[in-house]
Structure 1
């Protein structure tokens, strides 16, 4: 039987011995220009807001510098590669619901970067709602208008049903909270050492932007 990817025990067991694994786009040079552009754009957006409001951005520069929330970081090398794109490690927030991988990644981060950006996320799952929908709502509570959400997926239609699917009473439509600003296909270059003909591996990069629709406090 295939492993149950929704089982926390599976991930804790796997992460206890696995050093690192990147599910999507292992070549960071493909993602780097996209992420760098978003981060630089975030700097300009934050500067404009501070100038307009005339308010202090907060202590430690957290309100004046782009913040990156890496959801389901696992043991991906991306967690450490992101450090190359920001000024300080406090701008990166890596989270996963496996306490095992968070403990191991914290130790690895201390050894490599002498910083701390890993934290454990709650593992409660809502079964009656398509997971990306509930994730979009949760993220909307954290994100200011104009915040960008970067998604990597194997699916070419990850967000195609946002407008059509009904939501339980009291929950907003994700499509009202986030608008699609970019959808790009990414083809992984074949391994030159691979002698077997294989179809190209296709990934999809989505960039969504937080709208100005406000959410009620919960």
Structure 2
């Protein structure tokens, strides 16, 4: 049982802090699953792979944490080095890399839930601040990925603070209209999911799929039909032109509802619902200022 200081109950976790994640994964190194089991997105991931224009599509798993999803992905593709795991926490990345080696050297796991064997290749692992384009490009090539896997990572990023960004932004879309160079800073703070959408678009192929599992039914602010809060800033891409929604569906949790016993009362808690989003990268090109793509 973990005891929590009552004074901390009203304090939300610092999801935008690398220190928070490193501390969490140091004190809780065992595998942890956000929302659902590792195989919950299998039908959508397999469909994305089958529909990819790339015969050997590269998979990017963002916010891998300590989830067993990283190892489960090895059962979906034949070449593990096509799987690239990213996390903000270098502790999580070190744990993931070490756990993969241990699993692949354990005969009990050969050809089972993670497709591991002592002679198999390894996945790629990198600690990256996905909201920093320089950090991201230090590990990922532009236009490299055909499938992005996001198991509640967007939920965590949505909890981060909105930020004022420099204008013109380092990553932008081609436009025939001149950029207003008088603006050096966004007048209003920008939601971090817009920044995430731009950065993921930068490293994705056209028609790449972004498969996301979220607890929210209106997670992405750049999808028309959910809610309109796209920033219209000169020098920052219109995120609504970078991704389009292909599918959104409610998914009933497979977890058994919890039961609390409080004295003589038994309180049954209903099953929860989560949401799957399938987004597709458009053909809108992006470039990095100072270096065209």
Under a length normalisation based on structure 2, what TM-score does the superposition of the two structures give?
A: 0.62
Unaligned runs of 5+ in 1: 47-63
Match of 2:219 in 1: 158
Match of 2:22 in 1: 12
Question: Which structure: larger Rg?
Answer: 2
Alpha-carbon separation, structure 2, partners of 1:138 and 1:153: 19
Match of 1:209 in 2: 280
Alpha-carbon separation, structure 2, partners of 1:207 and 1:168: 26
Shift of 1:169: 2.3
Alpha-carbon separation, structure 1, partners of 2:243 and 2:15: 27
Alpha-carbon separation, structure 1, partners of 2:257 and 2:218: 30
Matches within 5 A, 1:96-107: 96-107=87-98
Q: Is 1:33 matched with 2:94?
A: no
Q: Is 1:71 matched with 2:81?
A: no
Alpha-carbon separation, structure 1, partners of 2:205 and 2:257: 44
Give the aligned length: 198
Shift of 1:9: 1.5
Report if the CA contact (8 A) 1:185-1:202 is conserved.
yes
Give the helix-richer structure, 1 or 2: 1
Matches within 5 A, 1:18-97: 18=28, 19-26=30-37, 28=39, 30-42=40-52, 45-46=53-54, 64-97=55-88
Shift of 1:116: 3.6
Q: Deviations over 1:92-143 (max 9, x none)?
A: 0000111111111111111113614211102666723211111111111111
Report if the CA contact (8 A) 2:241-2:284 is conserved.
yes
Q: CA RMSD in A?
A: 2.1
Name the SS for the 2:44 alignment partner.
Answer: helix
The range that moved more, 19-28 or 101-110, is 19-28
Name the SS for the 1:147 alignment partner.
Answer: strand
Q: Is 1:140 matched with 2:131?
A: no
Alpha-carbon spacing, 1:187–1:81, altered in 2? closer, same or farther (3 Å)? same
Q: Is 1:109 matched with 2:116?
A: no
The runs of 4+ residues in structure 1 deviating greater than 6 Å are none
Q: Deviations over 1:162-216 (max 9, x none)?
A: 4533243211111101110000111113427857421221110000001111113
Could you tell me which of 233, 244, 248 is aligned with 1:183? 248
Shift of 1:27: 5.4
